[in-house]
Amino acid sequence: MIRKNNSNSLSIKDVLNKLSIDELDIKGKRVFIRADFNVPFDDNLRITDDSRIRSTLPTINYAIDEGAKVILASHLGRPKGKPDPRYSLAPVAKRLHRLLGKEVLFAPDCIGPQVEGIVARMKDGDVVLLENLRYHAEEEKNEETFSKSLAKLADFFINDAFGAAHRSHASVVGIAKFLPSAAGFLMKKEIEYLKGVVNNPVRPFVAILGGAKVSGKIGVLEHIETKVDKVLIGGGMAFTFIKAMGYEVGDSLVEEEMLDTALRIRKTLKSAGVKFYLPVDCVIAQSLEPGAETKIVPTMEIPKGWRALDIGPATVKLFAEALFNAKTILWNGPMGIFEVDAYSRGTFAIARAVADAYALTIVGGGDTDLAVHRAGVSDALSFISTGGGASLQLLEGKELPGIAALTDRKTDI
């Protein structure tokens, strides 16, 4: 999701030699837009957060304004390769109708003669939303015949589903083999911020990494170690580092097999002149049960039988001071179990500190996205990624299948 216009990022041309939608002549053409409409629902199948739908509106509206026939496709949940009304995209079609201010026809399937007939009757500027791609097991298997069936519906393929770009699925990778393919505006922004800014940050560049496990962030740490000025470590992963340094961490989460790796990463960063911060205090409890007794203790004095569940107030102050002069901030991973009120204060305080910083602020997707929304500061951040696993892989410097499959700019189309 794109926020305040505070960008010093590179263009997609600088960071990736792939076509984008605004480089295609799509007037009167059938344009298949792969979106990420995998939105949450309540028990009455009402959408509770439509931010993923809103994030791809610039691409959809551009295609409509250019006079294209717009065919939208997405997955929703895990229906296990067969139709399941709990995972129908019908409510998304209704929400799109409201957001676009025009009719959105809903197709009962995503391939087949009936869908082809609906598409054949489309006029320029019309919008059709196909039913859940994952109603077909062939989607996740990236089956070629299924990919061809999707490609048969369109003249161009536009991938605007960054959250699925790390998946080698038919609607992400397979279809691109059979159609000229380009990035949508959301995909462009994700690449510009996550790849471009990390490669060429305005300094000082500060990375905040949290979440449960060191193993999930090793790739990011290794990729940014020559580019970052400060690294702030919070969440459960901090206690693997702390135990690796020889301190008692009680029953806090520790990846025993990662202790040597944690020491190596810390040594490498410090040798590179990177300032490395760990929590100095934490909120501890003996269980996650509601009403459980909590204490604030130094991180090196956690009693046995107790575990750290949030960073403490001294750490919040330390981290906030480390952010004070930052010009680029990348944050991926919460500081504690923020879903539980008693252990949410650290994460929310860091969210406010990031929002208040006079810097380009980039937040990774997944839990961090949810945390900044609950902290009420999402509108004050420069960019919030729509992808969890995809954003992590891009930050690790890995090639995402959904991006690699797009048409190279130099290719004649």
The answer as to whether 306 is a domain residue is yes
Q: Which residues of the chain have pLDDT under 50?
A: 1-14, 411-413
- What type of residue sits at position 246? G
Q: Where are the beta strands (DSSP E) in 318-408?
A: 328-332, 360-363, 383-384
Q: For residue 305, what pLDDT is reported? A: 95
Residue 100: give its domain's CATH number.
3.40.50.1260
The answer as to whether 11 is a domain residue is no
Q: For residue 388, what pLDDT is reported? A: 80
Question: Is position 86 annotated as part of the catalytic site?
Answer: no
Contact between 229 and 275 under an 8 Å Cβ cutoff? The reply is yes
Domain count along the chain: 2
Q: Are residues 179 and 195 in the same domain?
A: no
Peptide bond into 313 cis (omega under 30): no
Q: For residue 309, what pLDDT is reported? A: 97
Which residue in the list 52, 134, 167, 243 is annotated as catalytic? 52
Q: For residue 2, what pLDDT is reported? A: 36
Which residue in the list 81, 216, 389, 397 is annotated as catalytic? 389
Q: For residue 394, what pLDDT is reported? A: 87
Which residue in the list 213, 275, 317, 352 is annotated as catalytic? 213
Q: Are residues 377 and 249 in the same domain?
A: yes
The string of pLDDT tens digits covering residues 218-227 is: 889 988 888 9
The answer as to whether 25 is a domain residue is yes
Q: Are residues 166 and 242 in the same domain?
A: no
Tokens (6 digits) for 33: 């837009």
Backbone dihedral angles phi then psi of residue 263, each to the nearest 5 degrees: -65, -40
Name which of 75, 77, 74, 72 is nearest 41 in CA terms.
Answer: 77
Tokens (6 digits) for 52: 């993923």
Which residue in the list 211, 312, 333, 366 is annotated as catalytic? 366
Q: Which domain holds residue 372?
A: 191-395
Question: Is position 389 annotated as part of the catalytic site?
Answer: yes
The string of pLDDT tens digits covering residues 218-276 is: 889 988 888 999 999 999 999 999 999 999 999 999 999 999 999 999 999 999 999 99
Question: Is position 366 annotated as part of the catalytic site?
Answer: yes
